[in-house]
C-alpha cells in the first residue's frame, strides 16, 4: 500500500492559523497583565515619560509635589513621581535602589564628603556640560563634585546657614537688643540668667549639634573663612592657638546653657525655646520652620554672634553655611535625557524661588530672594559675611569625620573631662589619619 501523503490541505492551514492567533493573544494578555519593565521611570510608545524622584524629606512632600506639578505643566508628556523616605533609613534605601533596576531617575543625594561613596559606586551621571553652575557660590558648587575627578554630579538644592535665633519678646521684656559686641552679648546672657531665663538652649546629648554650636558662638575666634584656607594648605592645624581659643569659648559659655546640658536632647532644647523658657538657640536655617510651628506666638529674630576677644585681626561676625539636599541623575535611569532636563531646570530661578517660598529653604540658585524676612536676613548675612561650616564642607571626606570627632569631644568638654587643648588635639589627630594638606 502506498503510504499516505502529508496533509497540507486547507484544514491543516486553518489549524496552524488558530494556534498562531492563540499564541499571539496569550502574549498580548501576559504583556497587559505584567508590570511595566523594571527600572527607573517608565515610558510608552505615546511619548509620555514618568520620572521617579527620591528624597529623605518626608516633611516637604506636599511642597515638592506642588513644585513638580509646575514642571509637568511646562513639560507636557512628563510626569514626576515623587517618593520620600524616612531620613534615618534613606542612605541604605538609596544605595540599594541605585544598585538595582528599581531605583530613582533623579535621587536626592548628600553633599561634600557624604557624596563620595555614591560617586565611587558609579551610580550617578556626570553633569559637566549639561548643567551650568557658573556664578554660583564656590562653597556650594564644591558640594556637588567628586573629590577624585572634580566632575559635577549633582545640582545643589539649598544653602543652609547657622546663626543665633532669639525670642524678641523675652529680649524686649528684659530691655535687651540683638548684641553687636561681645560685651553686649555677655551682658545679655547675664541679665537673662538673673531673670530666671535660660539664656542659650543647647541640646548637647545629640553630639552632632555641638560643631554647629561652636560655629555659631566662636567662628570669628578661629578666623572663619581665612582659617579654612590655612588649615587646608597645612599652614595651620586644629592645634592652632586661635582654634583652641575658639573651643574654650564654648566651655566658657556653658554656664548660660541648660543644667546638665549633655543630658538635654536637641528636641528638648527646641522645646525650651518654643516654651519661652530659653531666650536664644543656636541653629540652622532648616530649624526656622520647626521653631515657628512649635509656637507661632513667639516673635523670632536672628543675629550673628559678635567676635569674642582675641579674635584674629580682621575677623568679623559671620554666618557659616554649606550646601545640602542636592539632586542628581541615576546612571541606570531609563530616561537619562529627560532626567537631566529635570535636574537642569533645578538650576533656574523659577525652581529656586519655589524652593524658598514653598519648602522654606534658602535656595542655592544665585539671585533668588526669599520672601520670608528671616530667611532673607540669613541669606543676606551669608552672602555678605559668610564662611564655610568647615568641618562639614572639608573634613567629611574620610573616617573618622571631623564633625563626628569634634562633636563627641565637645561633649567631654561640657562634662568637664577634657579641656579645649585636649579637644583640639583629638580633632587634629582624628582627621590626620586621612586628611592630606593641599600644599
DSSP single-letter state for residue 240 = S
Cell numbers for 425: 588635639
Q: Is residue 95 domain-shared with residue 192, that is, in the same domain?
A: no
C-alpha count within 13 angstroms, C-beta hemisphere, residue 223:
16
Q: What's the pLDDT score for residue 35? A: 29
258 and 202 Cβ atoms separated by less than 8 Å: yes
With a cut of 80, say whether residue 81 has pLDDT above it: yes
| Phi, psi dihedral angles at 135 (to 5 degrees) | 90, -5
Residue 95 and residue 144: Cα distance in Å, rounded? 17
Number of domains the chain is built from: 2
Cell numbers for 340: 537631566
The pLDDT tens digits for 5-44 are 333 333 333 333 333 333 333 333 333 332 233 345 555 5
Q: Is residue 224 domain-shared with residue 341, that is, in the same domain?
A: no
Cα distance between the two ends of the chain: 101
411 and 400 Cβ atoms separated by less than 8 Å: no
Q: Is residue 249 domain-shared with residue 336, that is, in the same domain?
A: no
207 and 391 Cβ atoms separated by less than 8 Å: no
- 164-181 residues labelled b (16+ CB within 10 A) or e (exposed): bbbbeebbeeeebebbee
377 and 166 Cβ atoms separated by less than 8 Å: no
Report the CATH number that the domain containing residue 335 is assigned in CATH: 3.40.190.10
Q: Is residue 285 domain-shared with residue 407, that is, in the same domain?
A: yes
Within-domain flag for 421: yes
Q: Is residue 172 domain-shared with residue 148, that is, in the same domain?
A: no
Mean pLDDT of 133-141: 95
With a cut of 60, say whether residue 285 has pLDDT above it: yes
Q: Using a pLDDT cut of 70, give the percent of the chain over it.
A: 89
164 - beta bridge partners? 282, 303
Within-domain flag for 423: yes
Q: Is residue 144 domain-shared with residue 200, that is, in the same domain?
A: no
Within-domain flag for 13: no
Within-domain flag for 53: yes
Range list of β-strands (E), 209-336: 278-284, 300-303, 319-324, 326-327
Within-domain flag for 296: yes
Q: Which of 421, 389, 391, 436 is nearest to 243 (CA)?
A: 421
Q: Is residue 96 domain-shared with residue 137, that is, in the same domain?
A: yes
Residue 402 belongs to what domain range?
Answer: 160-319+385-431
User: What is the average pLDDT value for the chain, to the nearest integer?
Assistant: 91
Q: Is residue 334 domain-shared with residue 389, that is, in the same domain?
A: no
Q: Is residue 203 domain-shared with residue 230, that is, in the same domain?
A: yes
Rg (CA), the chain: 28
Q: What's the pLDDT score for residue 36? A: 32
The pLDDT tens digits for 352-375 are 999 999 999 999 999 999 999 999
Q: Which of 247, 274, 286, 371 is nearest to 87 (CA)?
A: 286
255 and 261 Cβ atoms separated by less than 8 Å: no
Within-domain flag for 60: yes
Which residue do the cell numbers 492559523 mark? 17
Amino acid at each position: 500500500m502506498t503510504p499516505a501523503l502529508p496533509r497540507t490541505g486547507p484544514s491543516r492551514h486553518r489549524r496552524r492559523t488558530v494556534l498562531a492567533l492563540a499564541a499571539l493573544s496569550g502574549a498580548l494578555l501576559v504583556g497587559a497583565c505584567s508590570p511595566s519593565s523594571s527600572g527607573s521611570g517608565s515610558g510608552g510608545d505615546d511619548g509620555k515619560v514618568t520620572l521617579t524622584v527620591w528624597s529623605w524629606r518626608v516633611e516637604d512632600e506636599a511642597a515638592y509635589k506642588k513644585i513638580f506639578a509646575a514642571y509637568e505643566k511646562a513639560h507636557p508628556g512628563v510626569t514626576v513621581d515623587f517618593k520620600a523616605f524616612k531620613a534615618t533609613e534613606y542612605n541604605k534605601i538609596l544605595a540599594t535602589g541605585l544598585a538595582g533596576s528599581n531605583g530613582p531617575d533623579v535621587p536626592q543625594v548628600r553633599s561634600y564628603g557624604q557624596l563620595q561613596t555614591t560617586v565611587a559606586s558609579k551610580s550617578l551621571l556626570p553633569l559637566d556640560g549639561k548643567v551650568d553652575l557658573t556664578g554660583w557660590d564656590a562653597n556650594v558648587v564644591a558640594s556637588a563634585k567628586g573629590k577624585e575627578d572634580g566632575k559635577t554630579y549633582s545640582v545643589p538644592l539649598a544653602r543652609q546657614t547657622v546663626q543665633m535665633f532669639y525670642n524678641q519678646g523675652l529680649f524686649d521684656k528684659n530691655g535687651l537688643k540683638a548684641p553687636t559686641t561681645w560685651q553686649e552679648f555677655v551682658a545679655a546672657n547675664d541679665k537673662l540668667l538673673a531673670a530666671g531665663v535660660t539664656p542659650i538652649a543647647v541640646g548637647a546629648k545629640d553630639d552632632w549639634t555641638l560643631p554647629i554650636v561652636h560655629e555659631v558662638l566662636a567662628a570669628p575666634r578661629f578666623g572663619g573663612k581665612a582659617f579654612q584656607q590655612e588649615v587646608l594648605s597645612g599652614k595651620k592645624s586644629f592645634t592652632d592657638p586661635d582654634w583652641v581659643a575658639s573651643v574654650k569659648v564654648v566651655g566658657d559659655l556653658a554656664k548660660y546653657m541648660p543644667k546638665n546640658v549633655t543630658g538635654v536632647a536637641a528636641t528638648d532644647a527646641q522645646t525650651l525655646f518654643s516654651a519661652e523658657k530659653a531666650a536664644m538657640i543656636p541653629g540652622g536655617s532648616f530649624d526656622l520652620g520647626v521653631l515657628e510651628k512649635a509656637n507661632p506666638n513667639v516673635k523670632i529674630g536672628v543675629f550673628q554672634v559678635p567676635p569674642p576677644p582675641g579674635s584674629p585681626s580682621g575677623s568679623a561676625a559671620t554666618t557659616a553655611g554649606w550646601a545640602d539636599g542636592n539632586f542628581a541623575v541615576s546612571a541606570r535611569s531609563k530616561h537619562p535625557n529627560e532626567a537631566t532636563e529635570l535636574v537642569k531646570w533645578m538650576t533656574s530661578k523659577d525652581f529656586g524661588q519655589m524652593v524658598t517660598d514653598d519648602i522654606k529653604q534658602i535656595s542655592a540658585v544665585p539671585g533668588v530672594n526669599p520672601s520670608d524676612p528671616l530667611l532673607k536676613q540669613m541669606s543676606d548675612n551669608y552672602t555678605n559675611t559668610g564662611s564655610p561650616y568647615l568641618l562639614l564642607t572639608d573634613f567629611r571626606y574620610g573616617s573618622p569625620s571631623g564633625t563626628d570627632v569634634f562633636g563627641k569631644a565637645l561633649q567631654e568638654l561640657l562634662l568637664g573631662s577634657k579641656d579645649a587643648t585636649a579637644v583640639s588635639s583629638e580633632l587634629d589627630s582624628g582627621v590626620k589619619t586621612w586628611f592630606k594638606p593641599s600644599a
